[in-house]
Amino acid sequence: MSTEVPLHERVHDALRERIGRGTWTAGMRLPSEAALCREFGTSRGPVRRALLALREEGYIVGGRGRAPVVARVVPSQPFSTFSSFTEWARSIGRTPGQRTIEAARRPAPSAVAGVLGLDEGASVVQVVRVRLLDDVPTMVERTSFAPDIGALLADMDADRGSLHAHLVAKGVDLRRARHTIDAVAANPLDAEALEVCAGSPLLRERRITFDTARRPLSYADDRYRPELATFTIENEVDRRTPLRRSHPVEGRRR
């Protein structure tokens, strides 16, 4: 059985990479179907299927007699796979980066201690970093690790690479995560780190990561500039993603 990627998918991926990398910018008109056919050595069928997929994904707009143009695209991080910020950035053709604000042992606040199953005031390893997409400040990452997990970060330079990848390489069983998404106002630290005004709206993802035995290993509070990143959850009628909606007040009571 052939494992060769279908031609329309190859055309789609090549065009999407150009948009993702900024080679084709918002408002730019795409080459004609005839020009794309010549470039990829194909008929109009695969080109039209590729353009249709890009239109459905929101990468281009236009059609029905109007030349397609590049839409304003906000990178979207899916929850269909368990991947780190670094992996996600690379998957969309962006260069990930980070700048460490703090990496230290701290007494766990009561909320964090409760999530990680620790006594209040127990020591956790807290890492606070600014995450970058193509050198643009995109997210403030605050992660608290259970003491034994945090100890494995002692030999890592937090300004280089992925904490997730480092822990996996150390044999840590990062198996499952629970995500809660809401909106918050930028506090002074967020505002300075992300180069926005204090009080600006940010997209917040709170995440608890578990091992196979469902032991909580870390708690993260990540705050994104909403014009630079969004989240997607894809559902199917016969294969439903366990998306749970909750009232903010109700969520705090749990």
pLDDT at 1: 39
31-48, pLDDT tens digit by residue?
A: 999 999 999 999 999 999
Q: Rg for the chain (alpha carbons), in Å?
A: 21
**Residue closest to 171 by CA, chosen among 211, 128, 214, 220:** 211
Residues in the chain with pLDDT values less than 70: 1-3, 63-65, 72-83, 233-254
pLDDT at 98: 92
Residues in contact with 165: Cβ distance below 8 Å, sequence separation at least 6, in sequence order: 84, 86, 87
Residues in contact with 27: Cβ distance below 8 Å, sequence separation at least 6, in sequence order: 69, 70
Amino acid type, 158: A
192-224, pLDDT tens digit by residue?
A: 999 999 999 999 999 999 988 889 999 999 999
| Domains contained in the chain, CATH given | 7-70 (1.10.10.10), 76-253 (3.40.1410.10)
pLDDT at 247: 47
pTM higher than 0.85 for the full model? no
Amino acid type, 156: M
The span from the CA of 242 to the CA of 205, in Å, is 17
